[in-house]
Amino acid sequence: MSGDGQGTAAPATGPTFLDSIKRLVLWNYGGIYFFYFVAWQFIFTFMGLWLDEEGMSSTSIGRVSTVMALTALCLQPLYGFLQDRLGFRKPLFAFVVVCAAMIGPFFQFVFKPLIGVNQDLAALVGGMYLSLVTYAGVSVVEAYNERASRANEFEYGHARLFGALGGSFASAIGGLVWSTNPDNIWWAASFSAVVLGVLLFVARVPRRATDARQAGGEPRAHKVSKEDIVGLLTDRNFLGFVVLMMGTAALYDVFDQQYSIYFTGLVDHTDPEALFGTVVSIQILLEAVVLVFTPAIINRIGAKRGLMIFAGILVVRVLGSALFTSTEALVLWRWLAAVEMPFMLVSVMKYITRMFDVRISATAYMLGFGVAKSLGVAVFSGAFGRSYDKNGFSQSYLIMAAVIFVATVLAMLLMGDDRGREAPTGDLADGADDQVDDEESAPAR
């Protein structure tokens, strides 16, 4: 499987950040990332605090995340199949955008009343809806934009850094929005999604991307076959990748779900919620800076090593949060994510496109990252939610760090080295006739 659709064994290279920012197309896709992750950050920074204020227990908050993960687990295999068939056509992405635009009305008129009636029902309904925007929706956003980056020949990480800027912006203004009325957070998320919809509507890819396969005598669209899926699922590299995502990327999210509650309960500050918002804003801004350099680093050291660095930092962050709980230390542990997240984001995409058939890159991403991560979140959210209530955060974090370490060692033994592999850029024709530019993209675009 890993040999099908691969490029040559030449050293991996890519456009520099300066090359990328000179092109208008990068700003278009960067804007898509920016406004999507504004909405994302509003949800994940303030959802725990909002649910806590509405009277939900830690266990019930954990159930919301579990339902989100289970919903994504069911949807992502279908999403991967559909996105590989759709190529650059946008109906699936548009569905995610519409759901995001309705976040404000949903929280105000559906979620809040349900919490007062029945917390279990609220967790079920809220988790299912939020997954359409987040855990399931983000897989569509990432898979579509990664494919677009290869078609337009810019680094995925250079566009993705705009998502970090969007998250930083949301965290910076989120405290102010929260102070006026916590419900306004969700209306701000809806507004961001409307702008995202406009940017998605005008986004295009160069026609040469759709012509590349035809020039090589291949069909324009690649139908995902049973053999493709079986080959992927039985690939040792893929199995190792799945183990890593379940034991690290999933626990990254589980760790962050209620970290705001842990943080605000321990820090010595007159307004701990505002401090947390500021800390997260700075962290994500630093994330954007690191993303400028991460693609070049991963091209040099390899995506597997990048993933191991990500996992190592996560162990340190979780373990440190359990053992060192001064205000300064808690801020430091949060800021470590500024290095951790870029290494994961870039390495995941590069490992998938280098080690597996790029014609089914969306399927590989949805199954290997999306489904594996969602399954991990579904398993661990409820378990650690109960552990927080029973054992406290610090003891739970010690267990979490041990799980991450074991998963990382196992994955390291299974995963192959991607160094010397480079993802091809001519696989991107998948049925994109109505979403391409009629002209070749000039270098300045």
Residue 12 pLDDT = 54
Under the banding of pLDDT at 50, 70 and 90, the label for residue 272 is: confident
Residue 379 pLDDT = 85
Residue 18 pLDDT = 80
Those residues with Cβ within 8 angstroms of residue 436's Cβ, 6 or more apart along the chain or in another chain? 88, 204, 205, 206, 207, 209, 210
Nearest-angstrom CA–CA distance, 336 and 333: 5
Q: Are 158 and 26 in contact (CB under 8 A)?
A: yes
73-84: average pLDDT: 85
Highest mean pLDDT, choosing among 128-137, 169-178, 269-278: 128-137
Least confident interval from 37-41, 79-83, 208-212, 255-259? 208-212
Q: Which residues pair with 205 in a beta bridge?
A: 436
Residue 224 pLDDT = 63
Angle, nearest 10°, between helix axes 184-202 and 24-53?
Answer: 160
Looking at the domain that runs over 17-208+221-422, which CATH code has it been given?
A: 1.20.1250.20
If one compares 128 and 224, the residue with the highest pLDDT of the two is 128
**pLDDT for 154 beyond 60:** yes
Half-sphere exposure of 31 (CA within 13 A, CB side): 14
113-129: average pLDDT: 93
Q: Are 287 and 164 in contact (CB under 8 A)?
A: yes
**pLDDT for 395 beyond 70:** yes
Across the chain, mean pLDDT equals 84
Under the banding of pLDDT at 50, 70 and 90, the label for residue 280 is: confident
Half-sphere exposure of 353 (CA within 13 A, CB side): 25
pLDDT digits (tens, 9 = 90+) for 197-224: 999 999 987 665 544 444 433 344 456 6
**pLDDT for 239 beyond 60:** yes
Residue 223 pLDDT = 63
Least confident interval from 29-33, 199-203, 252-256, 316-320? 252-256
DSSP for residue 110: I
**pLDDT for 428 beyond 50:** no
Q: Which pTM does this prediction carry? A: 0.75
- Record the tokens describing residue 336, joined without a space: 């470590």
Under the banding of pLDDT at 50, 70 and 90, the label for residue 422 is: low
Residue 179 pLDDT = 87
Q: Calculate the alpha carbon distances from 439 to 22, 220, 354, 442 in Å.
A: 18, 18, 29, 9
Under the banding of pLDDT at 50, 70 and 90, the label for residue 128 is: very high
Instruction: Calculate the CA 249 to chain-centre distance.
Output: 9
Residue 4 pLDDT = 44
Q: Tokens 């801020």 — which residue? A: 331
Least confident interval from 48-52, 271-275, 344-348? 271-275
Q: Are 436 and 209 in contact (CB under 8 A)?
A: yes
Q: Are 267 and 327 in contact (CB under 8 A)?
A: yes
Residue 244 pLDDT = 96
If one compares 445 and 366, the residue with the highest pLDDT of the two is 366
Under the banding of pLDDT at 50, 70 and 90, the label for residue 39 is: very high
294-300: average pLDDT: 92
Highest mean pLDDT, choosing among 102-106, 164-168, 179-183: 102-106
Q: What percent of the chain shows pLDDT beyond 70?
A: 87
Under the banding of pLDDT at 50, 70 and 90, the label for residue 312 is: very high
Q: What percent of the chain shows pLDDT beyond 90?
A: 44
